Amino acid sequence: MERFFLYDDVEDTKTRFVAFTGESQRYDLAIVQSSRFYGKVLVMDIQYGRAAILGPDDLEEPGYLEHIYNRNEEEAAELREYLSELLN
């Protein structure tokens, strides 16, 4: 089988691991900064096994975090609050 690679790059990144508790949930995140994401960061929810490339504009999209991270409205609001502090 022949593979056609679109890219195969190695890059040094900065990764931050954060765990915090909100009113209803514990959050375990890995946040990866890379030049590949055009100013956005890769946010991985370690508990739920979900990831997204996010910037401040993405946090303003109604229902986006709820959908991407499979969180209810209250949990997404807590996550949004932390990420807003991080990304702004």
10-20: average pLDDT: 96
Task: Please report the pLDDT score of residue 51 as a whole number.
Answer: 98
Place of tokens 């702004």: 88
For tokens 């490339």, what's the residue? Answer: 53
Distance of alpha carbon 78 from alpha carbon 29, whole angstroms: 13
Task: Give the pLDDT band (50/70/90) at residue 50.
Answer: very high
Q: What average pLDDT is seen over the chain?
A: 95
Token pair 């590949």 in the structure block, residue: 36
pLDDT exceeds cutoff 90 at 88: no
- From CA 14, how far away is CA 29, in angstroms rounded? 14
Does residue 1 surpass a pLDDT of 90? no
Q: What residues does each domain of the chain span?
A: 14-87
Task: Give the global pTM.
Answer: 0.90
